[in-house]
Amino acid sequence: MVDVYGTLGPACASADTLEAMLRQGMTGVRLNLSHVTLPEAAPMVEALREAGRRCGMSPKLLIDMQGPEMRVKALPAPLALREGETVPLDFLAPEIRSEIAPGQEILLDDGKLLLCAHNADSALVLRGGTLSSRKSVALPGVELRLPPLTEADRQNLTLAHDFGVTGVMQPFVRCRADLEALRAALDGAGGEGIRIFAKIENREGVARLDELLPAADEIVIARGDLGNSGPLWELPVLQKRIAAACRSAQKPFMVVTQMLASMERSPVPTRAEVSDIFNAVLDGAASVMLTGETAVGAHPVEAIRYMAQTVREAENYVNDNM
């Protein structure tokens, strides 16, 4: 059975909404710890537990670490970046700006915004929009060597067992040592039974997939930043190659990012989106996940319903034809 995950956030923070999502087929949730700590998220976790009790089930809880991901600094207010204007890069941390040379592309918020650097201090906005705190940053062609776990990550991991965490998602996995560091931190905090989900989000992770497979419990094809690592039209090939490698190694894998992105606003998905979910299951995915669709979207329950129903149709097709 394919797991169906949503992401916790303001749109689904109540036990009533989470209960409805579970009854529609959701089997677990992701909690993004790039913006919050486990203690700060305790009310949402308790709402999930209450929803599970009402449904007679124990939903899985995945926590998504900060890891070595590059992010925008905390901003006092959302920042409007208008196409064609030059903007200062003071919303980036010094260690990121030090890697920026003239002409460097800067992708923000999973590539929704695109800048071209004049230098390490300013850039031209090529694709504008509104930039909020802690959104992702990608510098195509640049590998910033950051430690696999932040101090905040380590603090959250010490609490993972007590919070009932079932899995930890490690972002931007680059080598086996990243996963071994996470395993050691979990084991040292009483989390020996907590599963490791290795997020493949850059070309280095793709290139070293063979060494990552034995150290991970599940591989995550995280298409947001993976799609920023090169031309977007190459992403489907990467997804297919990762899926094939996982099948060959009999390693479970998850597909995530923009699976029902239109449902952040629309009550009905696109035909392309439901086909994407269907094909992920046909490729052998052990789990699929929604992110903004349930965390901040207008239709979290309906989004889960469409995902779960599509997954079940795909599973029936596999059982009948393969």
Residue in 135, 174, 183, 199 annotated catalytic:
199
Residue 171 makes CB contacts below 8 A (sequence gap 6+) with 64, 65, 66, 67, 68, 69, 199, 201, 222
Q: Which of 293, 316, 288 shows the shortest CA–CA distance to 3?
A: 288
Active site residue 257: yes
CB 94 within 8 A of CB 66: no
Cα separation, 47 vs 266, in Å, equals: 26
Residue in 7, 17, 27, 257 annotated catalytic:
257
Active site residue 199: yes
Beta bridge partners of 198: 170, 219
Active site residue 30: yes
Beta bridge partners of 250: none
Residue in 7, 27, 60, 71 annotated catalytic:
71
Between strands 79-81 and 60-64, the pairing is: unpaired
Active site residue 174: no
Residue in 30, 135, 251, 305 annotated catalytic:
30
Exposed/middle/buried for residue 179 (C-beta within 10 Å: 0-12, 13-18, 19+):
buried
The catalytic residue positions are 30, 71, 199, 257
